[in-house]
Amino acid sequence: MSDAIPPEAPHVATADTPVPNWGRLVRSDFGTAAWNRRNAGEISQSIPHHLVLLSFKPFSNRESRLGGTRIRTASAASGCCEIVPAGADYWARWHEPKEVAAFSLSQPWLDGLAQSDLDLPAATVVADALPVVDRRVGLIGGMLRDELRSGTHGTMAGLELDSLLNLLGIHLIRQYGVARPQKDLGGLSDRQFRQVRDHMQAHLTLGVRLEDLASLVGLSSSQLLRSFRRRTGTSPHQYFTRLRLDEARALIVNGPLPLAEIALTCGFSSQSHLTAIMRREDGLTPGALRV
C-alpha cells in the first residue's frame, strides 16, 4: 500500500453519517468502523451515534469544540482515544498528519447491550471528547487497523466486526457509565457448542453473524463471546476461520478443484486471501499443500 497521504479538505457531514467519511469503512448491524490517514485539516459534524476515535499518532495543539462550549486545545500521546457523545455537534482542527480508527455505536444498540449483559435499564455513557489513554480501546482499534490495511477488509463485515463492536460497547458502558457487576457465566454446554459448531460448518461459504449464533443458543452476543472462549479457548471468529482453513485443506489435498474455486467455496474473498490467512495461521500456502 502506498504511504502517500491524500490531501485533506474540511468535511461537513449530516446527521445520518455514522462516522467521518474517511478511509476504509466496514458496517455491521451493531455499528460502523473506519480507519484513515489524513494530513492537517478540520472536521465539522453532527454526531448521530456515540463516536469513539483512537489516534495512532501523537498530536499537539489539536483544537476541538463540543456543542456550544468554548474551543479547547489539547496534546496527546499515541494511543489516546476520544469519545464523542451521541447527538453532539463536534468540530475539530489538527495541524499535523494523523492516523485514526473511528467506531460509531448507536444508543438503542448500547441500551440493548446494557439490558442483556449488565442488568441495566439503559446505557449511560458520560463523555466530553477530551483525549484519554484507554488500553482496551487501543487494542480494539489496533485489531481494526490491522484488518483494514491488510487489503482484505471486505471479509471483515460479519463475525469479526460484530465481536469487536460488542467488546467495545461493553467496555464503554462499564468504563464511561454506571454498571453493576454481571453474573459469572460458565462455558457453553455440549448441546450449545454442537449447535454453534454445526451452524458454522453449514455456512462456511456465506459466513455467519455473531447475533445469529447467540440467538441459536439463547444468549446475548457478549455472553456468547465469553462462554465460547471458556469452552474452546478461542473466539468464535478464530474458531470459524479454523473451520474454513480445515475445509480448504481437505479440498486441496483430496480433490482436483482449482485453488481459486476452493477459496471461494470456503468463504475467502480470493485465492490470495486464502493464501495470506493460511500462511499466517499454518505457516504454509495452498500451493505447497498440493505439491
pLDDT in tens, 26-37: 787 778 888 888
Q: Which of 3-12, 83-92, 231-240, 275-284 has the lowest mean pLDDT?
A: 3-12
pLDDT at 180 over 70: no
pLDDT in tens, 211-222: 899 889 888 888
Rounded to an integer, what distance in angstroms lies between the CA atom of residue 239 and that of residue 247?
Answer: 13
Which residues sit opposite 94 in a β-bridge? 41
Residue 37 identity: R
Is-contact 231 217, C-beta < 8 A?
no
pLDDT in tens, 142-177: 988 888 877 554 555 567 788 888 889 988 888 887
| pLDDT average, residue stretch 106-124 | 81
SS3 content of the chain, % helix, strand, coil (to 5): 40, 20, 35
The sheet that has 72-76: what strands, in order across it? 11-13, 41-46, 89-94, 59-66, 72-76
Residue 258 identity: P
b/e map of 32-46 (b: 16 or more CB within 10 Å)? Answer: bbbbbbbeebbbebe
**To the nearest whole percent, how much of the chain has pLDDT over 70?**
86
Is the pLDDT higher at 128 or at 178?
128
pLDDT, position 21 = 53
pLDDT at 260 over 90: yes
pLDDT in tens, 182-225: 455 567 888 888 899 999 999 999 889 888 998 898 888 888 88
**Can you point out the beta strands (E) in the chain?**
11-13, 24-28, 31-38, 41-46, 50-55, 59-66, 72-76, 80-84, 89-94, 98-105, 132-133
Is-contact 159 210, C-beta < 8 A?
yes
pTM of the model: 0.62
pLDDT in tens, 54-74: 999 888 888 888 877 788 888
pLDDT, position 2 = 42
- Identify which of 128, 126, 130 has the alpha carbon closest to the alpha carbon of residue 73: 130
pLDDT, position 155 = 52
pLDDT, position 5 = 36
Is the pLDDT higher at 257 or at 76?
257
pLDDT at 8 over 70: no
| pLDDT average, residue stretch 90-97 | 88
pLDDT, position 174 = 84
Q: What is the CA radius of gyration of the chain?
A: 21
| pLDDT average, residue stretch 251-276 | 91
Q: Which of 5-14, 17-26, 243-252 has the lowest mean pLDDT?
A: 5-14
pLDDT at 3 over 50: no
pLDDT, position 261 = 94
Rounded to an integer, what distance in angstroms lies between the CA atom of residue 186 and that of residue 199?
Answer: 21
Residue 24 identity: R
Would strands 31-38 and 59-66 be described as parallel, antiparallel, or unpaired? unpaired
pLDDT at 179 over 70: no
Phi, psi dihedrals of residue 149, rounded to the nearest 5°? -85, -5
